[in-house]
Each structure stands twice: as structure tokens, then as C-alpha cells.
Amino acid sequence: MNYVSTRGGLAPIGFQDAVLMGLSRDGGLIVPDRIPDASAHLAAWRALAYPELAAAVMGLFADLPVAEWRTLVARSYAAFRHPDITPVVAVGPIHILELSHGPSLAFKDIALQFLGNLFDFILSRRDRRLNVVAATSGDTGSAAIQGLRGKPRLRIFVMYPHGRVSPIQEAQMTSVLDGNVFNLAIEGAFDDCQRILKELFNDLAFRDRACLGSVNSINWARLLPQVVYYFYAAFRVMERTGARRVRFAVPTGNFGDIFAGYLAARMGLPIARLVLATNENDVLARFYQTGVYHPMPARPTISPSMDIQVASNFERYLYYRAGEDPGRVLRLMKDLAARGRMEDRPAGPGPVDPLIVAGTAGTSDALATIRECHERHGYLLDPHGAVGVCVASRHLDPAEPMISLATAHPAKFAETIRRATGRDLAHHPALDSLQGLPTRRDLLPAETPAVRDYIAARV
């Protein structure tokens, strides 16, 4: 399998080159030249444990030797705290897919434990080094640091919006003092961090000179591992219920997590509906309701990892929506850059996409969902998971079980849990142990030259 750009300006490259490149040199996102049909594998995959399933699903997209590939994947999930890696728990009428059992207690671990090992494998074979630049709205940063810390061929520079991540999320990042880890508090919103990231990668001379790489979901290998847990959860729930199809509710801001579900459906997994759930930053929900993508200034909320208006992975979706026509994608992206909005309405009176339905759950909705779920079922949701469950509850069908993604441990948002329940319920030993630890970070303006100079001085 080869990889191309959503904007058409990249000659086909292999999997390992795609991993190291991260963002295509034409400014587009890297995608496979075909989506494999996994329908014939579904029966055999149902009984596999998570690491074996991950090796099989992702192996359809990769070009590494089989034995080394399986070892690399198995090692990537050795640090998870639950034997199922991503267990599925029935909570009332909804099945909760728990994605917070990794080292940083967030779903990003599932991809970044793998990506750190994959980087190390490729760089060792090629005798190269890489300087990774990341932008985070809360969870990517700590997960990336846990995946890359201490690896001698890698440095990581993490940008996060100053004052707009939870104190625990910040402590998880800034308390890591390894010499290859640099935390940058950016005076702006997450969209500023993401803009700086893309501008650094589009500065091709600097990108080459500084040997830049990416762990954000603009990197195909960051997104690919997220496809696996859709298969794993669907198999478990179909086995429990006897259902032939399932639904997934996905709280999302950057469109990466739900795009992974979209890929799973395209590969043949029997997904009847993807329920896209947003908080007040509802640019994605509005698109699926109107066909108009119109970003507005991001607003801080209790679910900060979703406080995003410029969803970088949306371009990958547009590529497949456009029939893999890079010319149409390029026109849409230019329209967005010039006008601040783009339109991609359906041709007829039907939905924008028959697979995807969207809804919004604001702060009061999320707080009420946390409180109600705990009171009725004794189950504690994090605020992002609560957004997913709230919107999921509007789209239930008894014939198609609903699986809702819980993307982080509630202890990462202890103050929000206290606000919702009136009780101090959200704790985890790994987070409680962060109190009082020394921290290190640098404060920078939301300007690309400042970040570029900071990186240049350290590489």
C-alpha cells in the first residue's frame, strides 16, 4: 500500500516514509491510496485479544516484517492497566468504551504508545533522529510525552494553550523533566497551537533543517491505531447482545476519533450510525446539520480537549467525501482560507452523510449527565465522555446497541466532577502523586517565529 496527499501534490510513498513525514509537503494530509476491505477477516478477528487484533487491523496498512511488527504492537500495549486494553462496560442502555487505561489515562495513549515505538524502530533502522512538534488541547501532550520520553533518537516539543487545560493535564506534561521533553505554554487557544504547528511544517526549509516530525493526528500513524478499538468494541457488544450492527457515539473536536470510526465502517465493520457529539464549540455538528463548515472563535468549556474550531482531520473526510478528488479538496480548503467558511451541501434533500448524525451537549447538559449517570448507575464519566453519552441518548435504537466512547479518566477533571456531583469522587493514584512535583515549561506568544526560534536553539 502506498500513501498520497489529500491535495494531490505528493508522489506515492511507503508507510514508513509517511510516518516520518507526518504532514504532506504540499500542506495536505497523508492518506492511503486505498482503504482495504476487511469483511473477509471479521469472523476470524472476533476472538482475538486486543494486541493481536491491533496487529491484524493495522497490518493491512503497514509494510514492516510480520514478526517485528507483531512484537512492536504487543510491546505498545504492555503498559496498560486493564487486560482488555479498551474494556466495554454496560451502563444503563449504553455500552461505555473505556479508553483511559493507558499511562496518561486518556485515549491518546492507545495511539501514542504505539507511535513512540514505531518512531524508534524506523529511526534505528535508518540511523536518524527526529524532533517531534505537538499541539495539544489537553490529552495529546501527556500521552505523547509518555510515548517518547527517554528515547535517545527523539526530542518532543509540546505546545498547549496557556490557562486552557486542566491543572492535572498541565501537571502531567510539565512534571516530566526528561532532557528530550520541552513544554511550551502558548498565549492563545488550541487553534493557535495547531496553526503554528502547520506553519512550521509548511516552512519546508526549516522543517528539513530541524528534522521535524509529528505525533498529532495529522500523522497517519497516530490516527491508525484508533481504528482498532472500533473493531474490538463492536465485536464484544455484538457477542453480548446478538446484534448484527452497532452504533458509536463519539465526542470529538478535531475529527480524528470519529474519522477512525468512519474508516472502520469503510473497511466493512457493521456500523449503522456514527453519532458525532460536540460541546459548545459545535462547528462539526453544524456542518452535519447544514452542510456549511464555519469556524468561530473557540470558547473555553469543561471539556477542553474539544475546544476546537479548526478540525484538522476533517480534510481527510472531505477527501473521501469528494470521491478521492484532490482537486475538489484543494478548492474547498482554499475557499475556507479565503472566506472563513466552506459549503459542501448534499445534492438532494437528504442528510449531509447518511452514516453520521450530529448533536451538541453544552456545559449544563454534560454536568447533568455526569450527575445522573453516577446517581442511577454508580458510574463516573469524564466531561468529554458525558458529552458523548448525552448526545448518544438522543439516538438510541434497541436493534442497534449504542457504544459511547469515554476518552479520559474522570480524575483528570476533578473540579468538574465536584461541580456535577457535589462530592470529591474523582481520584487516581497516578494523578494524586503529581502534587508537589517540580515542573518545567516555557511561556511563549502565539507566534510561529517565536516557536521556530525556540526549537532552532535546542536542536
Pairing, β 3-5 against β 30-32 = antiparallel
User: CA separation (Å) from 278 to 126, 287, 307, 382?
Assistant: 41, 11, 9, 14
Concerning whether 412 is annotated as a catalytic residue, the answer is no
Active-site entry in 108, 151, 198, 412: 108
Residue with cell 453519532: 275
Q: Cα–Cα distance between 125 and 232 in angstroms, integer?
A: 31
Written as nine digits, the cell of 66 is 510480520
Q: Cα–Cα distance between 101 and 411 in angstroms, integer?
A: 12
Burial label, 137 (beta-carbon count in 10 A; 0-12, 13-18, 19+): buried
Q: Cα–Cα distance between 126 and 265 in angstroms, integer?
A: 35
Q: Cα–Cα distance between 185 and 450 in angstroms, integer?
A: 12
Residues 307 and 137: beta-carbon distance below 8 Å:
yes
Contacts 24+ apart (CB under 8 A), 238-242: 238/270, 238/401, 239/46, 240/90, 241/401
**Span between the terminal Cα atoms of the chain, in Å:** 33
Helices (H), 304-382: 314-321, 326-339, 363-377
Locate the DSSP E strands across 225-278: 246-251, 271-278
Locate the DSSP E strands across 212-288: 212-214, 246-251, 271-278
Burial label, 339 (beta-carbon count in 10 A; 0-12, 13-18, 19+): exposed
- Active site positions, annotated: 108
